[in-house]
Amino acid sequence: MKIRPYEICDEIGWVRCRVLSFLDTAYFDNVLKEKEIYSNPAIELVAEEEGQIVGLIDVEFEIEEGTVCSRGTGLGGMIWHIAVHPDFRRKGIGTELLLAAEKQAKSKGLNRLEAWTRDDRWVNAWYENSGFTKVESYFHVYIDGGQELAGAIKSEVPNLYPVQAFAHYVGNELGAVKGKFKRVHECICYEKALD
């Protein structure tokens, strides 16, 4: 297995790896059809084995404080994507990608990394075991169908009838959303200082 910089010709493999790696997580429906292009500089690495992309990490980073990350001081990097193909998990690929990205981040003068994820226990354990600290959270709420939409979403556009919605809940009364909507995920911010 080799970790190397992402190249444009890797896009199909990158997309496939990301889609497959997210299928058994709370982000199962966060499907991208193409790789994102960042507004700021980015560290974009892939793990390749026998010509196949088996892992990836994308870290968009700041050249001006507060332009990419949502918290902290100094220059930070946001991990937008980190994924390992399910057939290649438990081999340390994610950790190797993170370490390679951290090395590049330090060389660029970054003092921390930030990452947001949902409430998959095993994903959160990986971040914590990798030296990240939970620093804040809020909730992703999926609102689906008649009963869930009633009282939550109303269209003011004539003849427009919402059937699904996605919302952020930042309040303190978790019961206001947990009991009312079937799909609610804690969205957790992790931060790691780079020594």
Residue 74's domain comprises 2-116
Tell me: pLDDT of 49 over 90: yes
Q: Is residue 97 part of a domain?
A: yes
CA distance 127 to 133: 8
Mean pLDDT over all residues of the chain?
A: 95
Long-range interactions of 100-103: CB distance < 8 A, separation 24+:
100/3, 100/45, 100/57, 101/43, 101/45, 101/57, 101/59, 101/77, 102/192, 102/194
Give domain status of residue 182, yes or no: no
Residue 141 domain-assigned (yes or no):
no
Q: Is residue 96 part of a domain?
A: yes
Question: Measuring CA to CA, which residue among 66, 71, 92, 68 is closest to residue 79?
Answer: 68
CATH number of the domain residue 101 falls in: 3.40.630.30
Percentage with pLDDT > 90 across the chain: 86
What's residue 28's pLDDT? 92
pLDDT band at residue 191, thresholds of 50, 70 and 90?
very high
Question: Are residues 56 and 47 in contact, defined by beta-carbon separation less than 8 angstroms?
Answer: yes
Whether residue 11 lies inside any domain: the answer is yes
Of the pLDDT bands very low, low, confident and very high (cuts 50, 70, 90), residue 10 is very high
| Predicted pLDDT of residue 21 | 97
Res. 146: pLDDT tops 80: no
Tally the domains of the chain.
Answer: 1
How confident is the model over 102-126, as a mean pLDDT?
97
